[in-house]
Amino acid sequence: MTRRSAASIPHSAASADTAEIPADLLATLGPLGRAGWCLLVGLVAIVCWGAGAYIYQLRHGLAATGMNDYFSWGLYIINYIFLIGVGMAGTLISAMLRLTGASWRRSITRLAEAITLFALLLAGPMIMIDMGRPDRFLNLLIHGRLQSPILWDVFSLNTYLAGSLLYLYLPMIPDMALLRDCSAPFAPWRRRLYRVLALGWHGDARQHRRLEKAMAIMAIIILPVAVSLHTITAWIFGLTLRPGWHSTIIGPDYVIGALYSGIAAVITVMAIFRRSFHLEKYLTADHFRKLGLLLLTLCAVYFYFTLNEYVGPSFVTETAEIPLLAHIFHGPYTVVFWSMATVGFLLPGLLLALPWTRNIPGIVTASVLVNIGMWLMRFIIVVPTLSAPYLPFPPGTHYHYVPTLVEWSITAGAFAAFGVLYLVFAKLFPIVSIWETMETEPKEATVPVAANQPAEEVLV
Amino acid sequence: MNLDRRHFLRLGMATAGAAAVAAAGFETATAAQTPAPGNSGAAGGVSGGNAGGKTMKVMTTDGQLLEVPAGQARQIKLPVLSSADIRQGIPGRRFVMMIDLAKCDGCGQCTKSCGQMHFIPPDRQWIRVFQMQDSPATAPYYMPRPCFHCDNPPCTKVCPVGATFKREDGIVLIDNERCIGCRFCMAACPFNARCFNWGPPNDPPAALAEGYSPEHGFPRRIGTAEKCDFCPDMARQGKLPDCSSGCPMGAIYYGDQNEDAVTNSQGETLRFSQTLRDRAAFRYREDLGTQPRVYYLPPVNRQYPGPDLHSKKGDQA
Ligand code: SF4
Ligand code: SF4
């Protein structure tokens, strides 16, 4: 799309009436409906349950968890890594696809950025929940040591969070203006919200130029920040003297793992909204196919990384690695490990690779499996290493890690909170970017086939 | 905030006229184990020291309760250690430990004495006796493992708030008034020397009666890390750590590397550097590069049988 035609949109946007906004997109902002309310109430109930569990934990300390002096990290840290991994989704779709000029991303960028934002919003609290003294949180500022990887992680997470928020918000401004000006019967507070968020956008060429510039800059800035977050989180493990963690490959390993679970999360969320919000026109089979292929690629790459993690130690069998490998391959974590391998690599790999299953149901099934598999993968990264200390377990002790109900409840609460945030967001704001998809479609009625519009690439 | 709190605590102790108790309180578990009323009685007597023919009870540094004329009692002030003092360490000292594995018979007295002195709950141990066997054909042996107070400590490097720190005298301590309970240090210590207060601590009154100092590690606080502290509070009084003095075999030597001398519970003092050379001393897992301050003498020419790793527990005391 050329700049001239980009500028032509806003003129129509400025004088927008409801007809300018595709009815099916506007419909997503309508009332929640019965099923929606049931879902929301159910999710809120789970969040409350999780909050109750946390209050219980605050009262009894981390003794309410299954952690102990040997297994000093558990479910919360696993959830943290998983969540920031999912948070890679937005960056991947918005920034990487933007920089590579893949214009088909337009209808899914917002959906992906929202995943990032909410996953990160929950990742921070996960760390707080894991802290023995959340009341001393400010010590990180008062006594913070820049030499500690935890501080790097705090900075990185917050930078990424702020960046993602900005990156989600910037492309929303023209949409806010559209909604502000449209004739749909929004409640007054809602219209006021749109007015405030529209920041006085009236869509002249200058504003558009600035927006495009800001988005392009953000796309470049956010990439290294995202990579840093995953690398630093990996270093929290990699910079310790522990078999299984102390590995040179662990940084890139986490980044690839995050991309892998990020895409899977995007596909899963896409499938949910396509169904429930009737967005078949915008989230097309083509989107699923392209993301499916991306997922397949990352499946292969991540498998390759994982293979590297295990082949070396298994072949060399260094003394310290032996108990770790024994626990993973024929010990307490064997079932988890092979479930992870099946659900995280084998099944999705097959589903995505075979042409007969590379359709929407197949791709969506694969992504759901990848989500589960990647969570299990994080378990395999964190827990077995703690089960294999250099000094053997002292005689007469039986240390093991079994997460308690409190931990599971808080975990469930966190994931439900993700659902609540996402649902509220999708009801309040158009989940598919209106102005960007309108740019893509020359005629509103035609089914968008992005590949047919090479001119698009110029702008991006 | 933490500083204020600590000052407040110290001020509180001083105004309560409890400086004498605090002084006596440093006197290990023996002092603390005597009923608290006796202590406070002594303190009360000191503060009202002008009474004529009256006598008062005081506790000596080695834990005896004496009755003396009140007029003769004088309050000795131990230097109050500021948090900066505690973080810096004892000037001019470099504490080391040397454990003679040939003498260790695995009785676990070190663990017990340490536990008594530091009021350690039964679910954890600061010094732990491991049963080791380096290879199938070699003899099993017992290895007590305190915190190694590594010179290149991976634990302090990762602490986000500097709650655990390395001092100039070589000792690695934890300040449980600052610790945020992230447990990164526990993951970073390759020797699992660190424990955590997972639940609310259940310290006995004697422990609570004493002011907190990272140099003895109690009263405990929920959600904070703890570990062997190398007993700098004992060292300040020129005494051995309790694991060392509690070892009936005299296997644990402790001393100052600058003085080049280490001493055990039997009063045997060895030249540190010479012994390391003569007896082919080693440090556990030198390859990890943490540079422990705890040296081991190899379990050769043992007078005691090693652990029987195939039966339940080789207890041959
Ligand atoms: S033994 Fe562990 S806790 Fe002690 S100084 Fe070394 S690394 Fe730190
Ligand atoms: S648990 Fe406490 S001492 Fe250990 S690294 Fe965290 S803040 Fe520092």
The 10 Å CB-count burial string (b at 16+, else e) for B107-117 is bbbbbbbbbbb
DSSP for residue B282: B
Encoded tokens for A447: 């089914």
| Better pLDDT: B67 or A194 | A194
Q: Is the pLDDT of residue A36 over 80?
A: yes
* pLDDT on residue A293: 92
HEC readout, B1-63 = CHHHHHHHHHHHHHHCCCHHHHHHHCCHHHHHHCCHHHHHHHHHHHHCCCCCCCEEEEECCCC
Straight-line distance from the first to the last Cα atom of chain B, in angstroms, rounded to the nearest whole number: 50
Predicted ipTM of the assembly: 0.86
CA distances from A244 to A129, A232, B97, B158 (A): 25, 17, 31, 18
B residues 285..314 contacting A (CB < 8 A): 285, 288, 290, 307, 313
| Helix boundaries (H) for A277-428 | 285-316, 321-330, 334-340, 347-353, 360-386, 405-428
B51 touches chain A (CB under 8 A): no
Name which of A343-357, B7-21, B187-201 the model is least confident about.
B7-21
Dump pLDDT digits (tens) for A275-332: 888 888 888 888 899 899 999 999 999 999 999 989 888 898 888 889 999 999 988 9
Nearest CB to A143 within list B124, B178, B285: B178
Dump pLDDT digits (tens) for B280-300: 999 999 999 999 999 999 999
* pLDDT on residue A448: 40
Rg (alpha carbons) of chain B, rounded to whole number: 21
Q: Is the pLDDT of residue B33 over 80?
A: no
CA distances from A299 to A206, A296, A345, B112 (A): 43, 5, 6, 53
> What pairs with residue B59 in β-bridges?
B65
* pLDDT on residue A184: 78
* pLDDT on residue B78: 57
B residues 100..129 contacting A (CB < 8 A): 124-125, 128-129
Please answer yes or no on whether A396 and B178 come within 8 Å at the CB atom. no
Straight-line distance from the first to the last Cα atom of chain A, in angstroms, rounded to the nearest whole number: 9
Q: Is the pLDDT of residue A451 over 60?
A: no
Considering chain A, what percentage of its residues have pLDDT values greater than 90?
57
Q: Which residue's alpha carbon is at the smallest distance from atom 6 of ligand 2?
A: B182
Q: Which residue's alpha carbon is at the smallest distance from atom 2 of ligand 1?
A: B189
> What pairs with residue B227 in β-bridges?
B194
Residues of B in contact with A237 (CB under 8 A): 187
Q: Is the pLDDT of residue A11 over 60?
A: no
What count of CB pairs under 8 Å joins A to B?
140
Q: Is the pLDDT of residue A433 over 80?
A: yes
Dump pLDDT digits (tens) for B147-185: 999 999 999 999 999 999 999 999 999 999 999 999 999
Please answer yes or no on whether A143 and B162 come within 8 Å at the CB atom. yes
Considering chain A, what percentage of its residues have pLDDT values greater than 70?
91
Dump pLDDT digits (tens) for A98-133: 888 777 888 888 899 999 999 999 999 999 999 999
Comparing CA positions, the residue from A417, A406, A328, A339 lying closest to residue A374 is A339
Distance B138 CA to ligand 1 centre (A): 27
State chain A's mean pLDDT as an integer. 86
The atom of ligand 2 lying closest to the CA of B182 is 6
Dump pLDDT digits (tens) for B244-263: 999 999 999 999 999 999 99
Residues of B in contact with A139 (CB under 8 A): 2, 161, 163, 178, 180
Q: Are strands B252-256 and B225-227 parallel, antiparallel or unpaired?
A: unpaired
Other beta carbons within 10 angstroms of residue A10's beta carbon come to: 22
User: CATH says B89-297 is which class?
Assistant: alpha beta
Residues contacting A166, CB < 8 A, separation 6+: A218
Spatial contact of B149 and B294, defined as CB atoms under 8 Å apart: yes
Q: Which residue's alpha carbon is at the smallest distance from atom 5 of ligand 1?
A: B149
Spatial contact of B181 and B173, defined as CB atoms under 8 Å apart: no
Segment A210-214 shows an average pLDDT of 90
Best residue in B183, B222, B294 for a mutation probing chain A (most A CBs within 10 Å): B183
In this prediction, residue A22 has a pLDDT band, given cuts at 50, 70 and 90, of confident
Dump pLDDT digits (tens) for A236-272: 999 999 999 998 899 999 999 999 999 999 999 999 9
Other beta carbons within 10 angstroms of residue A215's beta carbon come to: 18
* pLDDT on residue A204: 85
Q: Is the pLDDT of residue A10 over 70?
A: no
Residues of B in contact with A56 (CB under 8 A): none
Q: Which domains does chain A have, with CATH numbers?
A: 20-388+400-432 (1.20.1630.10)
Please answer yes or no on whether A137 and B199 come within 8 Å at the CB atom. no
Q: Is the pLDDT of residue A222 over 60?
A: yes
In this prediction, residue B316 has a pLDDT band, given cuts at 50, 70 and 90, of very low
Q: Which residue's alpha carbon is at the smallest distance from atom 7 of ligand 1?
A: B189
* pLDDT on residue A450: 41
Please answer yes or no on whether A132 and B158 come within 8 Å at the CB atom. no
A residues 301..360 contacting B (CB < 8 A): none
In this prediction, residue A420 has a pLDDT band, given cuts at 50, 70 and 90, of very high
3-class secondary structure, A316: helix
* pLDDT on residue A202: 85
Other beta carbons within 10 angstroms of residue B139's beta carbon come to: 14
Residues contacting A195, CB < 8 A, separation 6+: A176, A180
- The DSSP code sequence of A102-164 is -GGGGGTHHHHHHHHHHHHHHHHHHHHHH-S-GGGTTHHHHS--TTSHHHHHHHHHHHHHHHH
Name which of A69-83, A428-442, B48-62, B226-240 the model is least confident about.
B48-62
Residues contacting A383, CB < 8 A, separation 6+: A71, A74, A78, A333, A401
* pLDDT on residue A381: 93
Comparing CA positions, the residue from B259, B293, B297 lying closest to residue B276 is B297
B residues 251..280 contacting A (CB < 8 A): none
Considering chain B, what percentage of its residues have pLDDT values greater than 90?
63
Give this prediction's pTM.
Answer: 0.84
* pLDDT on residue B27: 35
Q: Is the pLDDT of residue A218 over 80?
A: yes
Residues of A in contact with B186 (CB under 8 A): 69, 72
Nearest residue in chain B measured CA to CA from A243: B190
Segment A76-90 shows an average pLDDT of 92
Q: Is the pLDDT of residue B22 over 70?
A: no
HEC readout, A194-241 = HHHHHCCCCCCHHHHHHHHHHHHHHHHHHHHHHHHHHHHHHHHHHCCC
B194 lines ligand 1 (CB under 6 A): yes
* pLDDT on residue A455: 38
Nearest CB to B180 within list A136, A236, A240: A136
Spatial contact of A417 and A51, defined as CB atoms under 8 Å apart: no
A130 touches chain B (CB under 8 A): yes
Nearest CB to A140 within list B158, B180, B285: B180
Say which amino acid occupies A134.
P
Rg (alpha carbons) of chain A, rounded to whole number: 23
B154 touches chain A (CB under 8 A): yes
* pLDDT on residue A7: 38
B175: Cα separation from own chain's centroid: 14
Task: Check whether the bond before A389 is cis (ω within 30° of 0).
Answer: no
Give CA–CA dist A435/B232, Å, rounded: 69
Say which amino acid occupies A436.
E
Dump pLDDT digits (tens) for A226-238: 999 999 999 999 9
* pLDDT on residue B76: 57
Q: Which residue's alpha carbon is at the smallest distance from atom 4 of ligand 2?
A: B185
Comparing CA positions, the residue from B211, B217, B203 lying closest to residue B173 is B217
Distance B294 CA to ligand 1 centre (A): 11
Ligand 2 surroundings by CB, under 6 angstroms: B 158-161, 163-164, 174, 179-185, 225
B residues 207..236 contacting A (CB < 8 A): 222-225
Domain ranges of chain B: 4-72, 89-297
Distance B242 CA to ligand 2 centre (A): 25
Nearest CB to B160 within list A145, A240, A391: A145
The 10 Å CB-count burial string (b at 16+, else e) for B251-277 is bbbbbbbeeebbbbbeeeebebeebbe
| Residue of B155, B175, B185 to test ligand 2 pocket, by largest number of atoms within 8 Å of CB | B185
| Better pLDDT: A101 or B209 | B209
* pLDDT on residue B291: 95
B166 lines ligand 1 (CB under 6 A): no
Encoded tokens for B295: 């040296």
* pLDDT on residue A147: 92
Query: Sign of the CA dihedral A372, A374, A378, A379?
Result: positive
Give CA–CA dist B240/B230, Å, rounded: 9
